[in-house]
Structures are given as structure tokens and as C-alpha cells.
Chains A and B, each alone.
Chain A
């Protein structure tokens, strides 16, 4: 990778992160505020607490892992070292 390619790649990754953020926010709204309208209780716990808190967390982990594996690329951060992958 040339230095320019690395920076372009980093910019692509940053864009993916921003999209990821929007998806997490949407998931958070729907699984929390949205689900709370259903007024379902599971094992003495309102369902929205489970989906909105633990659910958003698990969703974030899965999404972040997916983005890191699919979009993020390994390369040398130093200029001289050339390509690593």
C-alpha cells in the first residue's frame, strides 16, 4: 500500500464507523423506546430493559466485530516498512 492508499483506507474505515454509529443509535431507539410500548415483562424484567440495554450491547459487539473484520485492513503504520499483509 502507498501512503495515500493507507490514508484512503483509514478514511473508508472512519466512514464505516459513522454508519455503524447510526445503526447502533437506531437499534438503541427501537429496542428500548420502541419495545417499551409493547409493555411485555419477561422474568420480572420489562422486555425493553433486556433488548434496549443488553440487546444494544450485544448488537454493538456483533456490528463492531463485523466492521473490523470486513472493512478494516491491516497495514504498516510506518512509511518505510512497506506492505504488511
Chain B
């Protein structure tokens, strides 16, 4: 099926649609917008409704690995992997339910646009804001590269077109449409991406069931060939410590991910938040259970040992797609993983740019009492989005090893850095500058060092050590340091 134009066409048309939607939204919001460029560009003037809020959060959270690496593992270890992925149903409920309203009210009170605005104000610390910005830009950039690479590799494996063709097709276009559409554009295109992911998932499910000779045949085959795949511990492949790790890493501590928390300052009203929590729980569960279930069922079309498929679980899903779907249908199906990749990139890109432009550049200017004109902020925001995006694109052509190392640390690193800073900042009056600076710095360093050296506590993922150290720092800082002024605290803990 090499170089079949049908493999290319659906993704191409989908990307055109994304571009058109972004241009349309830009024109629409130019007509309506009254609240200043920065607020419009980076948080869509706090106007997200429930459905879009849910879908954009799910789409940002679901990455290319939800479609490739995850289901590939499920193919290898079985239903334990599906069972484990269920922990993710709590992700939206937790971040929106715990931080959603407090963040929204505080952000409105101090006119915050970025999550770093909130951190800076809550802890009255420029140092903390700067560390936050560096962590966000660094980890987000590595994550974006990984998304591009994952998407382009899948594209190459399924369509037969080159890696570079895929990268240009969706990598370059996502950078352009993010620059054009700003946050509102990203939110709506994300919602469309989430729908594309669900559609891709259902097509693949039917394709694999058909190619594998039906559900009964596939399950019978698994039961006789690899019965351990039907046990939750998968014959030792899925130890309890792994389940515990995943509850922390992709469940509870996702509350700290800045790309999710920024959603808390961008929605319209409490009704939207309530709807988003319910819709989000439904969609994120369907997607995770569905994709990983498909991964297990892929045993029906790929029954051999891993060595027969190039020795990497990342090859499983592309091979399963090729083996079970006709070129055109396969072309439509890969819109799903491509959508997962670009919807993550678009949000990360915009958040990273907001850190550079708003949290570093404009803040420094304002501090020196220099006026930055509306025209200039508008220009800078868009140029930075484009420049950073293109830079990520260029790095993705042939990523250096260091990017993979950073990417490995990114997800847990972001959680470690921000979890307690957000959570205790909103719920513990005594959380203060000293604690937060140490929590963020020491936590992240401990996490990265233990990850690099492979040190664990009882076989549980290093996130436990990072988050633990971060908490201790936060508590000691809070008990020994100076609590923020009454005036500052009144934003987060009003007394009237």
C-alpha cells in the first residue's frame, strides 16, 4: 500500500479543515473581542462553554501515546493494561472539580491570563514565576517534539509516505493554525480533534474485529495462546506497584499539569464547568478503555511474538491498522492519532508562548514601567508562537538524544513542579513563597535525578519521591517562613 494517495488524502483534508476553522474563528473573535488582545489570544476571553472545555481538556490530555504506545502495551500484557488505563477517568473530574472554581475566581479578581500570573501573585515571587516559566517552556518543548515524532512515524508506517511528508503535513499546519487561531481556535480545533479520535477509534475497533474473525474467535485465541493476558497481574507483567504508580502518575497528580490548570481560568461560568466535568469523564473513559481494549484485540490480527513485529510495542498499532483496514479507511483512521498529536501540541505551544511573552517579556517591561502597546503585544504573541512552533518542527526532523531524555522527565516533572504549588496555594493559607520555591526546585530536581539513576522507593514510580520531597519542602517552608500578606490572601481565602 505504499504511496497510495488515499492514505494521504484524509489527513490532508482534515488539516485543511483545521486551518479553515482557525481562520474563521479569528475573524469572528476579531469582531466580538473587546477585552484586549492578550486575554483573547491566550485564554479566549474566558468564554469556553462546557462541551468545548471538556473536549479541549481531553484532547490536550490524550496524546499520540494514547493511540500508539498505550494500546501497543495492551497488546503485549493484556487486559491488565486496560484496567490500569481506567484510572484516567478521574483526570478531568479532579482538576476541574478541585481547582476549577477557586482558580477561576482568583484569576478574575487579579486579571490573570496565565497560570504563572496566579502563581506569581499567590506567592509574591518573581523567582518562582521565572522557574515556572523555564520548566514549562523546557518540558513542553520536549513533549511537543515527541508528539510530532510519534505522529509522523505512525503516518509513515501506515501510509508509506515519508516521515518528512507527515511532519510537514500536520506539524507545520498545526503551528500555523495555532498562531492564527489563538486559544479560541485551539479550543475548537481540539474539540474537533477529540471527535476525530473517537471516530478513528470506532473504525479501528470494527476493522480489527472483522480482520480477527470476530470477538469470540479473538478471545478464544487469547485464552488458549496467552491466558495470562486475561489476569489483572498478567502473570507478573503487571505488578501491583505498577498499578500504584499509574494511579499517581496518570491519575491523581495530573491535577498539577499546567496545560490542564490553564483550562480553569478560561471557561465561561459554573454551568460550563459542571457540564465539562460530566462530559469529560464520559469521553476520557471511552477513549482510554476503547483504545486499550483495541490494543488487546489486536492479538487477533498480530498473534506472534513481539520479535516478529520489529521488537517494539510502538510498531503494533501501525501494523494492526495496516493489517485490518483498506488504504482509504486506514487513512481516515489515522486522523485519530494525528489529531491526538496536534491537539496536544497546539495547547502546549500556546501555553509555552504565553510564558515567554506574558510572564517573562511583558512582565519585565511593566516592572520597568515601560508601556507595551496593544499592537506590539499582538505582534509579539503571534511571532513567538510561530517561531517556537517552527523551532519545534525543525528539531523534530531529527531530534537529538537529549530531547528524549527531557521528554521522559516531562510528564512527571511538570506534576512534581506544580502539584503542591497549585493545590496548597489554593487550599492552605500558610503555603508561602519559601515553601513553594523549594517545593518546585527541589521536587523537580529530586524527580529528575532519581529518574535518571533509576532509584525508586519500593518499585513505585519516581513521581512518589518527587512529590514527597516537594510536599515536605512546602510544609517546612509554610511553617517556618512568612505567610503572605492579608491583602494577597484575601484573593484566595476571602473573609467577607
Contact = CB atoms under 8 A, between A and B. Distances in A.
Contacts of B277: 64, 68
B90 A24 contact: yes
Contacts of B231: 36, 46
A46 B252 CA distance: 27
Interface string B214-251: 01100110010000001110000000000000010000
A26 interface: no
Interface of B is mostly: helix
Contacts of A9: 101
Interface centre among A56, A68, A74 (most CB of B within 10 A): A68
Contacts of A13: 97, 101
Interface in A48-84: 48-49, 52-54, 56-57, 60-61, 64-65, 67-68, 72-79, 84
Contacts, number: 122
A65 B492 CA distance: 27
B97 A14 contact: yes
Contacts of B99: 14
Interface in B76-115: 79, 82-83, 86-87, 89-90, 93-94, 97-99, 101-102, 104-105, 108-109
Interface string A1-45: 011101101110110111011001100100011001000000011
Contact of A64 (B79, B93, B102): B93
A79 B494 CA distance: 11
Nearest to B79: A49
A9 B102 CA distance: 10
A57 B285 contact: yes
Nearest to B223: A44
Contacts of B496: 2-4
A54 B292 CA distance: 12
Contact of A53 (B83, B93, B104, B223): B83
Contact of B98 (A3, A17, A25, A77): A17
Contacts of B219: 44-45
A20 B96 CA distance: 13
B483 interface: no
A24 B89 contact: yes
B247 A4 contact: no
A54 B89 CA distance: 11
Given A54-B289, A56-B86, A61 B270 contact: no
B86 A28 contact: yes
Given A17-B97, A46-B230, A7 B494 contact: yes
Interface in B268-285: 269-271, 274, 277-278, 281-282, 285
B370 interface: no
Contacts of A48: 83, 232
Contacts of B274: 68, 72, 74
Chain B, interface size category, equals 35 or more
A10 B105 contact: yes
B401 interface: no
Contact of B270 (A17, A25, A75): A75
A28 B195 CA distance: 27
B102 A7 contact: yes
B108 A57 contact: no
A78 B105 CA distance: 7
Interface centre among A25, A44, A54 (most CB of B within 10 A): A44
B98 A61 contact: no
B232 A79 contact: no
B118 to A, nearest CB: 14
Contact of A33 (B102, B105, B232, B492): B232
Contacts of B24: none
Contacts of A74: 269-271, 274
A84 B269 CA distance: 10
Contacts of B90: 21, 24, 60
Nearest to B87: A28
Interface centre among A21, A33, A48 (most CB of B within 10 A): A21
A56 B89 contact: yes
A3 B269 CA distance: 15
A72 B281 CA distance: 16
B448 to A, nearest CB: 27
Nearest to A33: B232
A10 B495 contact: no
A48 to B, nearest CB: 6
Contacts of B494: 2-4, 7
Of all A-B residue pairs in the complex, the 8 with the closest CB atoms, nearest first, are A17-B97, A44-B219, A57-B285, A10-B101, A3-B494, A14-B98, A60-B89, A74-B270
17 contacts: A6-B105, A14-B97, A32-B232, A44-B215, A45-B219, A48-B83, A49-B82, A52-B83, A53-B289, A60-B93, A60-B281, A60-B285, A64-B93, A68-B278, A74-B270, A77-B101, A79-B109
Given A3-B496, A77-B270, A84-B270, 16 more contacts: A7-B492, A14-B97, A14-B98, A28-B86, A36-B232, A46-B230, A53-B79, A53-B86, A56-B86, A60-B281, A60-B285, A65-B278, A68-B274, A74-B270, A74-B274, A77-B101
